[in-house]
A = this chain, B = another copy of it.
Amino acid sequence: MSKSIKHIFKETGSYKVNGSLWIDFGENHFFGPGRAELLERIDQTGSINQAAKQMSMSYKKAWEMITMLNTQARRPLVILHVGGERGGGSKITKEAKELIAFHRLLRERFTAFLEKETRNLEEL
């Protein structure tokens, strides 16, 4: 039987339940919002470089994230091309798109959870 904790708060509506969510592989980060956005931007631009710039992220960091992703997944999520026309570029795989779609639904469920718990803060 949990009671209301409204009386602990200063003003009603100012408090909210918040959180972050990701997928671990063993002890390491595997996938989360940052990597999802990076994959999406690589998909749009065809370039790790441009994707990183859009996110105000250093190329090095983006490259490391991609390397980790490709290492931790069964098969590569990003195919990297060095040299060639336009200097090269990168493409995300079908698996990457599936993972992004799954992740989007997971986030929606998480958002719903947070909203429900925020409502629960001031009720009961």
Contacts and interface: CB of A to CB of B under 8 A. Distances in A.
A23 to B, nearest CB: 6
Per assembly, the copies of the chain total 2
Mostly, the A contact residues are mixed
Given A5-B102, A8-B98, A98-B5, A15 B25 contact: yes
Interface residues of A, number: 38
Interface centre among A16, A23, A74, A106 (most CB of B within 10 A): A23
A17 B26 CA distance: 11
B121 A8 contact: no
Nearest to A120: B106
Interface in A22-58: 22-26, 30
Contact of A8 (B21, B26, B74, B117): B74
Given A2-B105, A109-B117, 20 more contacts: A5-B98, A5-B102, A8-B75, A8-B77, A8-B95, A9-B25, A9-B74, A10-B72, A10-B74, A14-B25, A17-B22, A17-B23, A18-B23, A18-B24, A19-B21, A19-B22, A19-B110, A106-B117, A110-B113, A113-B113
Interface of A: 2-3, 5, 7-10, 14-26, 30, 72-75, 77, 95, 98-99, 101-102, 105-106, 109-110, 113, 117, 121
